[in-house]
Amino acid sequence: MTVTLDSKTNRWNFGSLTVQGVCNQVGFELCSERLVLPFIYTAVGGPAYFAGTILSTVNITRFLSQVPGAAFLTRVRYSKRVMAWSTLVCVAALAAVATMRDDFAAQTVVVIFLLAAALIGAGKGLGVLAFQDVLGRSLLPSSRAGLLFLTGALTGLGVIASTYLSVNYLDFDGDDSFNSELIVVGAVLLALSAASALVIREPEKITSGGAEQTSAVTTSKFLDEVRSGLAIAGHLTWFRKYLVARMLLTPIEVATPFFAIHAVALHPDTAPSLPTFVVAGALGMMIGGAVFPAFSRKSERLTMNVSALIACLAALLSLSLQFFPDLRNLATHSAAFLLLAIANQGVSVSKTVYVVNAASDETRPYCVAASNLVSGVLGFLLALILGMISHVQGAEAALMAMIPFNLAAAFYVMRLPSSRNLGAPQT
């Protein structure tokens, strides 16, 4: 059936994409690789050394999947089908995680969780590319920003409502203390997201012929362009400084799993504590999402600075529970997760806005790709190091190690040039 993007089709697609987006984001938050997966991994007896690599594995496979995924999307007629199937890959991975129990061998726990993380990352990476393609071809430009803002606003509320439902009305195993309900509810929402993607009225793409004969030449040209673009980005003075800032901010982005490990040690009864921390993180997302865009419009450097300082406060608050048992309760520990979620939201917004504003149209794709690659590789290595520290000295030692980096980041980001003075090619 031929689809024409008129006002009627636009309204239908706006509704379909809203349902798809909310189910997708809420589902992934309930199964978050930052908090939920590391928390459950630790609770079922997984070695702390590998806990931090769950998040890094998701990030790396998400990045790697987008390289061939971009070429793949040019060869399919409907990107909505890619959205659906990539989401179902994540559902299958989460189904394996939901079966975990504390009587599994430690090696089995590590293998299952890391394989699941790799599949989730690949599914997320391909799904994001497909979503962006569908967004550009199936929704009018005037509706795109409204869709994204509405989806973000509904996601925090959806996380809180879904967590409340899973805790108070679902009990798949009366002896289950590892909150498999959260994973199951998240997987169900992701399945609904996949179904919603299929009802989008997407115009059929016209694929180019002869792709097989020209693939080798195209690939060679593509790699040459990538190398050239990355070399140009590396010669930008502001970008080299930005890379240093990104590296100093990386501990904030990989911190949540180690907060989760620390929380498991202090709150071994995971059944009531994990949903509480998930809700705290959702509230942090909502607060950060509401506050930091206004900050960022004034100064991305200030947003990064404040975010790094808030991350320090989160670490100090969590550590205070270690050394002052009288403060050790779910409300106080939830405040630490809320502060960390706010800090993560601030870093996510400000680092993106800064590089988008600072780079020119020609260098922006390479600056974004290079900074993501550097941050992703560093995050993986940092997660291994902090995992080793947690395994030997305890998670509190890893939290202590992050504080100097956060303070250094808060100081250094204020030395970045204002992105308002950039935007043209810089040398």
Provide the pLDDT for residue 367. 73
pLDDT reading at 173 higher than 70 = no
Helix axes 256-266, 364-393, angle to 10 degrees: 20
Q: Identify the burial level of 280 via C-beta atoms within 10 angstroms of its C-beta, where 0-12 means exposed, 13-18 middle and 19 or more buried.
A: buried
Provide the pLDDT for residue 425. 42
Task: Compute the half-sphere exposure of residue 238: CA atoms within 13 Å on the CB side of its CA.
Answer: 24
Helix axes 364-393, 395-412, angle to 10 degrees: 150
| Distance (Å) of CA 168 to CA 163, 268, 276 | 9, 20, 12
Instruction: Considering only residues 149 and 342, tell me which one the structure prediction assigns the higher pLDDT.
Output: 342
> Which of 166-170, 173-177, 240-244: highest mean pLDDT?
240-244
Sign of the Cα torsion 199, 148, 87, 134 reads positive
Provide the pLDDT for residue 424. 43
What confidence tier does 214 reach under pLDDT thresholds 50, 70, 90?
A: very low
**Least confidently predicted of 149-153, 193-197, 260-264:** 149-153
The residue-averaged pLDDT of 51-79 equals 78
pLDDT reading at 222 higher than 50 = no
Residues 6 or more apart whose Cβ sits within 8 Å of residue 16: 196, 197, 199, 200, 201
Tokens of 113: 């969780």
> Which of 31-40, 143-152, 174-183: highest mean pLDDT?
31-40
Contact 52, 259 (CB under 8 A): no
Provide the pLDDT for residue 121. 92
Q: What mean pLDDT, rounded, does the chain reach?
A: 80
Count the neighbouring beta carbons within 10 Å of the beta carbon of residue 268.
Answer: 10
Helix axes 270-298, 300-323, angle to 10 degrees: 150
Cα–Cα distance measured from residue 180 to residue 228, given in angstroms and rounded to the nearest whole number: 48
Provide the pLDDT for residue 88. 96
What confidence tier does 362 reach under pLDDT thresholds 50, 70, 90?
A: low
Instruction: Considering only residues 182 and 199, tell me which one the structure prediction assigns the higher pLDDT.
Output: 199
Provide the pLDDT for residue 271. 46
Exposure string (b/e) for 55-73, b if CB count within 10 Å is 16 or more?
A: bbbbbbbbbbbbeebeeeb
What confidence tier does 65 reach under pLDDT thresholds 50, 70, 90?
A: confident
pLDDT reading at 426 higher than 50 = no
Cα–Cα distance measured from residue 407 to residue 420, given in angstroms and rounded to the nearest whole number: 25
Summarised one tens digit per residue, pLDDT across range 110-149 is 899 999 999 999 999 888 878 877 877 788 877 775 676 5
The residue-averaged pLDDT of 149-163 equals 80
Contact 210, 389 (CB under 8 A): no
Provide the pLDDT for residue 189. 95
Q: What is the DSSP string of 25-73?
A: HHHHHHT-TTTHHHHHHHHTT--GGGTTHHHHHHHHHHHHHHHHHHHHH
Q: What is the DSSP string of 254-288?
A: T-HHHHHHHHHHH---HHHHHHHHHHHHHHHHHHH
What confidence tier does 411 reach under pLDDT thresholds 50, 70, 90?
A: very high
pLDDT reading at 176 higher than 70 = no
The residue-averaged pLDDT of 161-176 equals 70
pLDDT reading at 316 higher than 60 = yes
pLDDT reading at 397 higher than 50 = yes
Contact 203, 139 (CB under 8 A): no
| Distance (Å) of CA 181 to CA 128, 162, 272 | 26, 10, 12
Give the percent of the chain with pLDDT over 70: 82
Tokens of 165: 């439902």
Contact 339, 314 (CB under 8 A): yes
Distance of CA 288 to the CA centre of its chain: 15
Secondary structure letter of residue 207 according to DSSP = P
Secondary structure letter of residue 178 according to DSSP = S
| Distance (Å) of CA 56 to CA 89, 368, 381, 406 | 19, 18, 9, 19
pLDDT reading at 364 higher than 60 = yes
Contact 19, 226 (CB under 8 A): no
Sign of the Cα torsion 163, 167, 170, 172 reads positive
What confidence tier does 258 reach under pLDDT thresholds 50, 70, 90?
A: confident
The residue-averaged pLDDT of 150-158 equals 78
Provide the pLDDT for residue 290. 75
Cα–Cα distance measured from residue 301 to residue 313, given in angstroms and rounded to the nearest whole number: 19
Tokens of 104: 């599994």
Provide the pLDDT for residue 228. 57
